[in-house]
Amino acid sequence: MRWVGGWAWRVGGAVGVVWLVGVALLAPPAPSPSSSDPHLSQRLHRAVQELDVLKKQNDDIRQVLHDFTMQVKSLNSGDQGGGGGGGIGGVVAGIQQGGGNPAVVAELQKKLEHAQRMLQQADVTAERPPDFVPSLEFEQTRRLVDRGVQESWWFLADQLQQLRKKVESYPDLTSHIDQILEEGSDHTRVLQFDMSRLSQLDGLGTWREQEALDLSSVVQKRLHTLQNPQDCEKARKLVCNLNKGCGYGCQIHHVVYCLIVAYGSKRTLVLKSRGWRYNKAGWEDVFQPLSDTCTDPSGYSHSHWPGSNETQVLDLPIIDTLSQRPPYLPLAIPRDISERLMRLHGDPAAWWVGQFLKYLLKLQPKTQEMLDNMSESLGFQRPIVGIHVRRTDKVGTEAAYHSINEYMAHVENYYTKLQLNNPTLTKRVYLASDDPTVITEAQKKFPEYTFIGDSNIAKTASVATRYTDASLKGIIADVHFLSLTDYLVCTFSSQVCRIAYEIMQGYHPDASSYFRSLDDIYYYGGQNAHNQKARFPHVPRRPDELALNPRDVVGIAGNHWDGYSKGVNRRTNQNGLYPSYKMEEVVDIADFPSYTHTDKRKSGT
């Protein structure tokens, strides 16, 4: 059924274009057109407008347009062959009849080329009417296969590396292993390439893009309504202080947590930020205020969290000291959008947090201008991979040292995959770090790459000058540009990279796999338990492995990126390693207050 429908629609679309162009040029039969013929240009304009409407098209239409443009081109260059019959031939005949006025033809050609560009931008495989919706199970299974392909290669590659160490003194064996590693990673890349094509086929890509826009606008509208109550004097409020004693990433996550609690308790968030350690003038010196109408923290009753439902103003402590933790803290997502979100996205919690960042980090015009200027002077251009190298105070205390070569191995793998399709692309890397020597080292060691980044920014990020205006601008810029890359290579132990990853989710329908972390999996500081569930039994093969029954819940501590993850089996309380490929994510779905009232309102009210 679906196939017949899709096919009929394709043909219908192609016929429609021919018809439109035909109508524009032939009806009523064109008299001798001149460059000032208003009817012809009007009709052309209308046809192009209709073409724009029809931009979710397919190869048939593009072929028609292509042929048409080619014929117009040949006409323009004096080669007036062809013509006769209906359709395109008729159109060409129509122009010939008019003597092929060069100005008109040139105009026509320009417009058609524009239409063709519009069509090319439309999803290559958008062959289905947009009301097609895949099932939750289909999308989840597709992503399981994606992850399975990745996990099985991580497993095999790591096992082969271990084997290689054991046979180091036999060069014929090690070179054979090296060859398997090389060809194996090529197999994996091709598989992944095809998987990503599959994820776009049959209208899935178009559906996903529309669904991401729809879901985001639901959430943004709810936040906007929450933050702009009708009567600020009577509104229930949550007050949050931007004075957490930590870095920018940690402080932004603090504000996100405040806004999540505000959303979860249906209170308007009021942010106190005067005297912020990064900028004494406060939040609004760089970002837009959280509300257009309600930024006053006063009220008739006031108490500390949790207070009571009736208390008008509540002060919220930092997440680390929060008592009576509500169920809706990260990694929870709201029940009312959970099914749609789990179908759309491979990491619903990161998407959800990303939506809060989208609401919060609206730039002041001068911040925007600074970023625009930087984008231009740096020559920021996609495709581009983002690397974040967290060094200085973090190394040795909270995270291990990772050499630039480690990051670059993953960048290289990413570009080798892209080159399957485009062998001549420029390999660009946006490099952010709090260590200014990293960028010069990278440029020297990897001359075939174009590194984009500013070592002056890294200088301001040094511990001595970290809490200054200049440093704030630098970290805002680094996070911004990292989030705009196509793929992130970094350490998720750093909040800087996790924020970039979260923001990135707002720029793509599902960017949950657009990263490679050298250490942690994605997490949110102060989060509730992160669990996975076994889909298949597992009998331990080594003493440090967990035994699993189907449906066992495992609290995940980390992925070792070698086929194994580490965690605790909640049934047996056993700690240890378990095979990642046998697991699925348990999404934490929490009851948030209802926002159906907001959803029903027309936007802008």
Ligand X SMILES: Nc1nc2c(ncn2[C@@H]2O[C@H](COP(=O)(O)OP(=O)(O)OP(=O)(O)O)[C@@H](O)[C@H]2O)c(=O)[nH]1
Q: Site residues (CB under 6 A) for ligand NAG?
A: 309, 366, 369-370, 373
Residue nearest to ligand X (CB): 247
Binding mask 434-453 for ligand X (x = CB under 6 A): x-------------------
SS3 call for 555: strand
Residue 400 as a binder of ligand X (CB under 6 A): the answer is no
# residues contacting ligand X (CB under 6 A): 23
From 206-214, 254-262, 319-327, 467-475, span contacting ligand X (CB under 6 A): 467-475
Q: Is 125 left (phi over 0), alpha (psi -120 to 50) or beta?
A: alpha
Paired strand residues for 287? 363
Paired strand residues for 553? 533
Residue 378 as a binder of ligand X (CB under 6 A): the answer is no
Pick between residue 116 and residue 493 the one whose CB is nearest to ligand X. 493
Residue 432 as a binder of ligand X (CB under 6 A): the answer is yes
String of DSSP letters for 173-214 = HHHHHHHHHHHHHHHHHHHHHHHHHHTTGGGHHHHHHHHHHH
Which residues, 87 to 116, sit near ligand X by CB under 6 A?
Answer: none
Phi and psi (nearest 5°) for 109? Answer: -65, -40
Pick between residue 339 and residue 369 the one whose CB is nearest to ligand NAG. 369
Q: Which of ligand NAG, ligand X, none sits in contact with 366, Cβ below 5 to 8 A by type?
A: ligand NAG
Dihedral sign for Cα atoms in the order 362, 364, 369, 375:
negative
> Which listed residue (246, 400, 464, 529) binds ligand X by CB under 6 A?
246
Residue 495 as a binder of ligand X (CB under 6 A): the answer is yes
Q: Which of ligand X, ligand NAG, none sits in contact with 433, Cβ below 5 to 8 A by type?
A: ligand X
Residue 61 as a binder of ligand X (CB under 6 A): the answer is no
Phi and psi (nearest 5°) for 269? Answer: -85, 130
Q: Which of ligand X, ligand NAG, none sits in contact with 390, Cβ below 5 to 8 A by type?
A: ligand X
Contacts of 112 (CB under 8 A, 6+ apart): 48, 65, 68, 69, 72
Q: Which of ligand NAG, ligand X, none sits in contact with 370, Cβ below 5 to 8 A by type?
A: ligand NAG
Structure token pair of residue 524: 């949110």
From 21-29, 89-97, 123-131, 492-500, span contacting ligand X (CB under 6 A): 492-500
String of DSSP letters for 376-406 = HHHT--SS-EEEEE--GGGBTTTB----HHH
Residue 249 as a binder of ligand X (CB under 6 A): the answer is yes
Q: What is the crossing angle of helices 204-227 and 335-344, to 10°?
A: 150
Q: Which of ligand X, ligand NAG, none sits in contact with 369, Cβ below 5 to 8 A by type?
A: ligand NAG
User: Distances from the Cα of 319 to the Cαs of 14, 270, 312, 326, in angstroms?
Assistant: 57, 17, 21, 11
> Which listed residue (457, 484, 548, 556) binds ligand X by CB under 6 A?
457
Q: Which residues bind ligand X (CB under 6 A)?
A: 246-250, 388, 390, 393-394, 398, 432-434, 457, 461, 466, 471, 474-475, 478, 494-496
